[in-house]
Structure 1
């Protein structure tokens, strides 16, 4: 009888230990990830193909976007989620629409990092 109790206790301890490990690893991994707006802008978002910091190329400059969105208290995140109308250059909206497939798949954290990056150019 004593052997059975010891055996069951040992199994319980081992199984509880294994359940706890993945949870600890997940929380460490999640907190270690920091999203960079610049990396998204130049990489996954491919925004740099049409937007430059200080000059209009295909789309408006980041300075212009940031300045107008701040002045009009708009939300770049809402625009990128296609939840609000364009306020900088509505004539370019049809060109920008092709990129919403990319921006809609981004997390809120990624979109907020992108918005912060754009605002960093406004004066």
Structure 2
């Protein structure tokens, strides 16, 4: 009887560990997929000037992704203020005020923003 309980406990423990690993992976993958959008709409406040499919103050995400892909630009580099604007240089002075926010972001956060912007590429 002791052996059976010990065996059941062992299999139960192994089963729980596998479920925890799968749950953690799923949560991490979901967080990665939505983090760009969350940053864009939240902390980055990018949505105040950029919309997915229309120009408001700044160019649309569709336009940004199209131009950066065509010209092989680097969105992360631009957000770190390490490269020149290639989409609408006339709006650069307005965008400069937001570099304080984007420069404080980690490389992973900036990459998530870039991935989010590229998700609007047609």
Structure of greater Rg: 1
**Deviations 1:83-114 (CA, angstroms, capped at 9, x unpaired):** 00000000000000000000000000000000
Structure 1 position 68, deviation (Å): 0.2
Runs of 4+ aligned residues of structure 1 deviating over 3 Å after TM superposition are 31-35
Distance in 2, matches of 1:65 and 1:32, equals 27
Confirm or deny that 1:81 pairs with 2:98: no
Deviation, 1:122, is: 1.1
The whole-number CA distance in structure 2 between the counterparts of 1:64 and 1:32 is 30
How far did residue 43 of structure 1 move?
0.1
Deviates more, 1:34-43 or 1:94-103: 34-43
2:37 corresponds in structure 1 to 38
TM-score, normalising length: structure 1: 0.73
Cα deviation code 1:8-65 (max 9, x no counterpart): xxxxxxxxxxxxxxxxxxxx8xx95944100000000000000000000000000000
**What TM-score, normalized by structure 2, do the two folds share?**
0.74
Q: How many angstroms apart in 2 are the aligned matches of 1:65 and 1:97?
A: 16
Q: Which residue of 2 aligns with 1:69?
A: 68
The answer to whether structure 1 residue 121 and structure 2 residue 120 are counterparts is yes
CA RMSD in angstroms, aligned pairs only: 1.6
**Structure 2: tracts of 5 or more residues without a match:** 1-23
Find the residue that maps to 1:118 and give its secondary structure. Answer: helix
